[in-house]
């Protein structure tokens, strides 16, 4: 009898773990692209970050492909500990709690949105990573970009694909809501746009939300990179977004950070003003809650 009780307890435990992995997905964007939702995440105190691939040149993708079957690139940002492979699965759930090798890891991996073309890059390539509050792992250190001084210190993202080394000039840093009660949802993760006008209008809307006025221009034929993680400034159902523009062929890769400044007219979701006060800037093309 006791043996059957043990079997029942084990089965229930497996079901609970599976449900937790599905329903606590902070990106919650599987086969149907909807806005991400999340719950607060607590970091196990016994788990240590292990993200640097020791003894391996990250540019040697032939070596890395033998180790990580779903690798699509490598991301690094100076003056942070962001430095690891990027993987991509057939959905946005698989690598939430898995390392790039596929084994269980609470912090998950850096992973590209499954809808993005990682060979002929989409207009907007989105990479996700957890922010686990302790800031020591994955995208926790993106919070630094809310400050002008850090942007001036490190205005680039290095993201190489399997067949191209690439640098991206950061042009926007903002937070946004994922619950409709905090304002109309801003979709910053669309891989491609039907017209040049639609794409450039999207870029304008990103820049007006940015903490920093970044001296980086965007053209209709440019490619952009979007880094998305959780933000806890309001609550755990908000997102922090850092966006970069691919350095063009023959372009000076430097950024004149002396021209960067704090955005004094930054646009936040309506939920921000309800909690923090202030007056929301009015734009005719920005929908509001009824």
The CATH number of 2-276, from 2.40.260.10, 2.40.420.20, 3.40.190.10, 3.90.1150.10, is: 2.40.260.10
Residue scoring higher pLDDT (40 or 123): 123
Q: Taking residues 267-283, what's their average pLDDT?
A: 95
What average pLDDT does the structure give for the chain?
84
Residue 17 in this model has a pLDDT that exceeds 50: no
Domain positions in the chain: 2-276
Name the region of 278 (left: φ>0; alpha: ψ -120 to 50; beta: rest): left
Percent of the chain residues topping a pLDDT of 70: 79
pLDDT at 50: 28
Q: Taking residues 157-183, what's their average pLDDT?
A: 95
d(CA 64, CA 113): 20
pLDDT at 290: 76
Q: Are 133 and 140 in contact (CB under 8 A)?
A: yes
pLDDT digits (tens, 9 = 90+) for 171-229: 999 999 999 999 999 999 999 999 999 999 999 999 999 999 999 999 999 999 999 99
Which pTM was predicted?
0.83
Residue 28 in this model has a pLDDT that exceeds 80: no
Place of tokens 């292990």: 50
**Residues sharing a CB contact under 8 Å with residue 57, sequence separation 6 or more, in sequence order:** 63
* Both structure tokens of 225: 């990179």
Q: Are 245 and 223 in contact (CB under 8 A)?
A: yes
> Which H/E stretch holds residue 177?
strand 167-177
Q: How confident is the model at residue 25 (pLDDT cuts 50, 70, 90)?
A: low
pLDDT at 235: 83
* Both structure tokens of 157: 């993202």
Q: Taking residues 259-278, what's their average pLDDT?
A: 96
Instruction: Pick the closest to residue 111 from 84, 137, 133, 136 (CA basis).
Output: 84
Q: How confident is the model at residue 59 (pLDDT cuts 50, 70, 90)?
A: low
Q: Are 75 and 82 in contact (CB under 8 A)?
A: yes
* Both structure tokens of 107: 């912090």
Comparing 7-11, 16-20, 101-105, 108-112, the range with the smallest average pLDDT is: 16-20
Any idea what DSSP says for residue 233? S
pLDDT at 60: 82
Q: Are 121 and 88 in contact (CB under 8 A)?
A: no
């Amino acid at each position: 009898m006791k043996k059957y009780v043990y079997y029942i307890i084990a089965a229930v435990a497996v079901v609970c773990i599976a449900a937790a992995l599905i329903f606590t997905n902070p990106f919650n964007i599987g086969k149907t692209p909807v806005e991400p939702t999340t719950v607060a995440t607590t970091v196990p105190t016994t788990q240590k970050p292990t993200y640097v691939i020791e003894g391996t040149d990250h540019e040697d993708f032939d070596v890395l492909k033998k180790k990580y079957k779903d690798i699509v690139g490598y991301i690094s940002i100076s003056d942070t500990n962001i430095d690891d492979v990027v993987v991509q699965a057939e959905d946005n759930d698989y690598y939430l709690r898995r390392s790039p090798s596929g084994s269980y890891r609470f912090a998950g991996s850096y992973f590209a949105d499954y809808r993005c073309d990682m060979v002929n890059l989409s207009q907007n390539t989105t990479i996700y990573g957890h922010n686990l509050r302790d800031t020591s792992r994955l995208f926790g250190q993106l919070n630094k970009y809310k400050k002008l001084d850090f942007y001036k210190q490190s205005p680039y993202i290095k993201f190489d694909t399997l067949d191209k080394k690439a640098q991206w000039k950061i042009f926007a840093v903002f937070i946004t809501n994922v619950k409709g009660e905090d304002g109309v949802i801003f979709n910053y993760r669309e891989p491609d746009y039907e017209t040049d006008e639609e794409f450039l209008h999207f870029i304008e809307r990103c820049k007006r939300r940015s903490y920093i006025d970044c001296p980086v221009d965007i053209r209709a034929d440019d490619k952009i990179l979007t880094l998305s993680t959780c933000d806890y400034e309001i609550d755990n159902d908000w997102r922090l977004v850092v966006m970069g523009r691919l350095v063009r062929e023959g372009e000076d890769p430097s950024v004149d950070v002396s021209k960067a400044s704090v955005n004094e007219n930054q646009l936040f979701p309506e939920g921000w003003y309800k909690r923090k006060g202030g007056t929301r800037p009015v734009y005719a093309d920005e929908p509001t809650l009824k």
